[in-house]
Structure 1
Amino acid sequence: MDDQNKNLILATVLSFIVIVVWFLLFPPPERVDDPNAPATGETAQSQADGTAPMTPGADTREGASVPSDAAPASADTEEAPRLGIDTPRLAGSINLRGGRIDDLKLKDYLTSLDADATRVTVLRPEDQRDPFYALYGWIPVSGADAGAMPAEDTVWSVEGTPTLTPETPVTMTWENDAGLIFRRTVGIDTDYMFTVRQTVENTGENPVALRPYSVLRRHGIPSDLKKFFVLHEGLIRMSDGELQEESYGNLEDFDVDGREGVPAERIEVQESGWTGFTDHYWMSTIIPDTAFRSTAKYFPGRSIFQTDAVLPAVEIAPGASASVDTRLFAGAKEWETIKEYQNDHGVTRFLDAIDWGWFFFLTKPIFAVLHWLNSHIGNMGWSIIALTVLLKMVLFPLAYKSYASMAKMRELQPEMEKIKERAGDDRQKLQKEMMELYKKEKVNPASGCLPILLQIPIFFSLYKVIFVTLELRHAPWIGWIHDLSAPDPSSILNLFGLLPIATPDPDSFLAIISLGVLPILLGVSMWLQQKLNPAPTDPTQQMIFAWMPWVFMFMLGTFASGLVLYWITNNVITFMQQYAIMRSHGFKPDVFGNIRKSLTRKKKAEGK
């Protein structure tokens, strides 16, 4: 591979990174939506035309659905009592109106590093910003009608303790006029997993058949949606081992069709699975313990996204009762916690809820090693450095030939210049003599591209890991680096804090030239490394290579500090490896990469 082809590869890499930066700085415009719009008098009309959110119902017809009579409670509905939620990691409440789980905060996570930051909120009631909540209920199949079922505005009674803790589950009850007593018992573990047991007792004279269901309902597109092309936010569900991810934009096509309440996307899960909505770092998912019907719906009349799980029908004879358990995960996408739910509690492929991306075969093991290093080191910044060292050690046998080839290429630089002078503008003659020289000296110019090709998937895999995994969020390193998932907060525009000038907003164009300490170190390290590489013979190519470190310095300046730290460490280690290999080939680079040939090597080259 000649210098021109090598430049083509580098230009391709550079172009791809430009696209990444462009999308990070200028994401697609978000649709303006009011997530706080209260319910209005349009509800009745919406139900008539099939656009209002419906409790999942099913009759005996194949593929048909029956909407419930109850619409979501409007904002002016009288506030019902609440049951408290208090665990080591969660705080919130359960609304007795509808028995919905709609108020949940994470005790371990703050919205930002600011002094006035509040706890992260996962679920919200309808009268707050971005309503998002879980509903449960029963669908009549035979022996009862919809009016005999608890609705979304039904006020439940409390049995026993009024506060949900890991040691004390709470139980809600409601009795209809047809001899059915409904109970809902909610338990929770010490992390983020709820267990909801729905029980029906039949005190009447006739048998009934009912189908239990669970619903996750989100009003409007979340106002904090990031809309980055490397991150999935929206529907996520696992159906018999098959993962499905749909953005909110795609979900808007999951409209109800001509029949009321019939979803456009329905999956019959035969063995196991789960369904829910995921945000950047948080997630809520319904996890049935049996086969179920998984649906995804969008109701354009009120911009409501919904996913639900309808379980098989249960028959309750007179004097008998039946119970069904469903789990609800609502919390942080912590790798260790989710792995435990997958491996120890049977949640199928739950780790895939983390957005590992196209390079999942690299991102998963890279993060596993990073997590292991952090468990021993206790600092994510130093763990990234240690990870980089390990990766360089693993790749060194492959990279050694490349570095040795580049050293040999530098040794042949004078002869290559002579060939260029002899060939003049005759490109064919130049290529022929170059190939003869490579064959004679047993040099493979293509091996010089190997480090670049190896670094591309590793770089983007680590970028993905740092961007999507919760463990890097708000993770400090040293000094001024308080969040490795965010750009370096220092700025050359205020002399790194010496001048009383605020740094530019991260979303502004000035952020590109507001270089911090780490981006500057990145540019310097790239420049030093480049000094050890053989220079292209073409002056234009030489100019491109000379500017490349400083272009990358500005381009990567707005990337996460953890990623820039990896790149700096990689450059420093590469420089040290190339330095040692150059000396083994008779060259003596100085600390700035300037190279001179040793006297012994020079005499040998001159044939003395």
Structure 2
Amino acid sequence: MDDQNKNLILATVLSFAVIMAWTVLFPPEDQPIDIAAEATVSADVSALPGTTTTTSTATAPAEAEVATAPAPRVQIRTADLEGSLSLRGGRIDELSLTQYHETIDPDSEIVQLLRPEGEAGAYYTAFGWAASEGIEAANVPTPDTVWTLESGDILTDQTPVIISWDNGAGQVFRTEISVDDEFMFSFAQSIENNADTAISARPYGLIRRHGIPADLKKFFILHEGLVRMTDGALEETDYKDIQDYDIDPKEGVPAERLEASQSGWVGFTDHYWMTTLIPTQDAPFRSTSKYYESRDLFQAEAVMPVASIAAGQTYTNTTRFFAGAKEWETIKHYEDEEGVGGFLDSIDWGMFFFLTKPIFWLLHTLHGLIGNMGWAIIALTVILKAIVLPLAYKSYVSMARMKELQPEMEKLKEQAGDDRQAMQQGMMKLYKENKVSPASGCLPMLLQIPIFFSLYKVIFVTIELRHTAWIGWINDLSAPDPSSIFNLFGLLPFAVPDLGPLQLLSLGILPIFLGVSMWLQQRLNPAPTDPTQQMIFAWMPWVFMFMLGNFASGLVLYWIANNVITFTQQYLIMRSHGAKPDVFGNIKSSMRRKKKTAAEDDK
């Protein structure tokens, strides 16, 4: 293919990729969920998978309304968390992240992760026991059992609390709840069997989420929903797909059960936040996800094996519960130092994980060295361009040689006239004689596509860029440029209102720089002679400028830096091989062609 057709194909591929991203990033809104219509759910734990009893039949959770009488609460307070746990079920159902705010305004509300049942968007965890042999289902604690506070008056990273429940039938259940200085809770569940005979039961933990989250992003580039690891195999399931599970014959609800032989975890993930049940990593457990349609309730469970407790003996099982921000360093610490296998994969690295993981690591490292995420993105761009420089060098050398052949190509075009086959044959012969490969320029450009989407994934998904400033008006690299051409970038004394679908017309400073940088980069190359290709290339920078105007500022910053570096590399390499790119000459030539075309149209 000649240089012009090569660029046309490249432009088409890039345009198609960006249009696809745009279409999915800005989908039409679904109808809101009527959270007020949700019914409460009872905690009939006999319905847990694998549970058997000697006195009752396993059934699905009852339709009866849960008791709503208030229960005593225990405060939770650490440097990163604040909230409370309810003695009803020992639920952690009120939890906020003190280091994160809803907006960039430091006076805005802090992020609330968990909410008690009865509130809109209820979301909480609870732990209990499922009866097996020698003990009736009514004599094990459920997520609605009201516990007694046995020791401790506030849960901190220095002071655990112990809650207990005596079933009056010879068993005392205790749960010691502790939390570290980040986002990890531990629930040490124990049974003290004071009866004369042995019993058996199985401990479990569950996470309940009432309804699909109202702030679900619905972006193809981001997973939100169930996330779990089972013996090294990662599963990500959207809420809609959970609703479409096959009906479990034991409970009559959509459910999926996986048996982990030695390691794993299960929970729900949002854009930046996550809740996860983490059983002991060297023991088997059952990971289950369910959906109760009548109550619009999603449930994730970690159910441990049946434990036998002899008369006079005590059995203890510990399950961890992560509830917090998906910070890379924090999650990596839990994986590397505390043995949570594959926990870093809870961050949605996507199909290009082999690129997104090292790109984020490098960006994170540069941020640590530089101290500013915007400059770290620019430094990352420089490094990425240096890595692909050998391929780019070949591309720019080929373009320089092709520019030298431009006069001979023009002669071929005149000689061939309308005979396109003769033109192609002549060009291939010319390329062969001069050892020029026009296709060599495609590869480095095509490499930019996975790098671009990988970096976009990193910028969009990772919390480290959330509410992170660069310079001046760019106070959130994960959000679009807040400046607008409609108020002359802040010079006029009024704010630009939300324009809805027309927001793409509200160009900021960075998107304009992006369009100009793409336009200047095009000027390094000879303008195509075909009118259709001229039109495509004339409009492409400005189309990209508008389409990327509402993308994250960090991504637009990367693209600007990439264009500037590419322009510089191409200019210097072409000059070093005898070509003399005339940027301003190309601009003037382009303008003359436009005037000539306009004059011909007037005639």
Check whether the contact 1:284–1:329 (CA below 8 A) recurs between aligned residues: yes
- Residues 108/585 of structure 1: CA separation in 2 closer, same or farther (3 Å cut): same
What amino acid does structure 2 have at the position aligned with 1:134?
A: T
Task: Identify the residue that residue 348 of structure 1 maps to in structure 2.
Answer: 341
Alignment of 1:407-418 (within 5 A): 407-418=400-411
Listed one character per residue, the Cα deviations across residues 329-376 of structure 1 (whole Å, up to 9, x for unaligned) are 110000000011001111111000000111100000000000000011
Partner of residue 269 from structure 2, selected from 278, 283, 305: 278
Displacement of 1:66 after TM fit? 2.3
Alignment of 1:62-461 (within 5 A): 66-67=58-59, 74=66, 77-114=68-105, 116-254=107-245, 256-260=247-251, 264-289=255-280, 290-461=283-454
Check whether the contact 2:116–2:122 (CA below 8 A) recurs between aligned residues: yes
Check whether the contact 2:276–2:322 (CA below 8 A) recurs between aligned residues: yes
Distance 2:547 2:45 in 1: 45
What amino acid does structure 1 have at the position aligned with 2:256?
A: E
Which ranges in structure 2 are unaligned for 5 or more consecutive residues? 589-603
Task: Identify the residue that residue 530 of structure 1 maps to in structure 2.
Answer: 522
SS at match of 1:143: coil
Displacement of 1:593 after TM fit? 7.1
> Percent identity at matched positions?
59
What amino acid does structure 1 have at the position aligned with 2:507?
A: L
Task: Identify the residue that residue 13 of structure 1 maps to in structure 2.
Answer: 14
Distance 1:54 1:396 in 2: 63
Displacement of 1:594 after TM fit? 4.3
Displacement of 1:161 after TM fit? 1.2
Check whether the contact 2:513–2:560 (CA below 8 A) recurs between aligned residues: yes
Which ranges in structure 1 are unaligned for 5 or more consecutive residues? 597-608
Distance 1:505 1:114 in 2: 18
SS at match of 1:442: coil
Distance 1:422 1:69 in 2: 83
CA-atom RMSD in angstroms: 2.2
- Residues 149/72 of structure 1: CA separation in 2 closer, same or farther (3 Å cut): farther
Q: Which moved more, 1:108-117 or 1:371-380?
A: 108-117
Task: Identify the residue that residue 602 of structure 1 maps to in structure 2.
Answer: none
Distance 1:119 1:499 in 2: 32
Check whether the contact 1:56–1:65 (CA below 8 A) recurs between aligned residues: no
Partner of residue 464 from structure 1, selected from 440, 451, 457: 457
Is 2:13 the partner of 1:4?
A: no
Displacement of 1:122 after TM fit? 1.3
Displacement of 1:448 after TM fit? 1.8
Displacement of 1:261 after TM fit? 5.6
Partner of residue 550 from structure 2, selected from 558, 562, 565: 558
Task: Identify the residue that residue 33 of structure 1 maps to in structure 2.
Answer: 33
SS at match of 2:97: strand
Q: Which moved more, 1:533-542 or 1:305-314?
A: 533-542
- Residues 423/247 of structure 1: CA separation in 2 closer, same or farther (3 Å cut): same
What amino acid does structure 2 have at the position aligned with 1:372?
A: T
- Residues 422/590 of structure 1: CA separation in 2 closer, same or farther (3 Å cut): closer
Distance 1:72 1:453 in 2: 59
Check whether the contact 2:525–2:581 (CA below 8 A) recurs between aligned residues: no
Distance 2:237 2:287 in 1: 14
Displacement of 1:534 after TM fit? 3.2
What amino acid does structure 1 have at the position aligned with 2:418?
A: D
- Residues 160/259 of structure 1: CA separation in 2 closer, same or farther (3 Å cut): closer
Check whether the contact 1:407–1:533 (CA below 8 A) recurs between aligned residues: no
Is 2:480 the partner of 1:487?
A: yes
TM-score relative to the length of structure 1: 0.92
- Residues 124/592 of structure 1: CA separation in 2 closer, same or farther (3 Å cut): farther
What amino acid does structure 2 have at the position aligned with 1:285?
A: T
Q: Which moved more, 1:509-518 or 1:332-341?
A: 509-518
TM-score relative to the length of structure 2: 0.93
Displacement of 1:70 after TM fit? 7.0
* Number of equivalences: 583
What amino acid does structure 2 have at the position aligned with 1:283?
A: M
Listed one character per residue, the Cα deviations across residues 401-452 of structure 1 (whole Å, up to 9, x for unaligned) are 1011111112211211111111011111000000011111111101121232
Distance 2:490 2:566 in 1: 31
Check whether the contact 2:35–2:120 (CA below 8 A) recurs between aligned residues: yes
Check whether the contact 1:68–1:146 (CA below 8 A) recurs between aligned residues: no
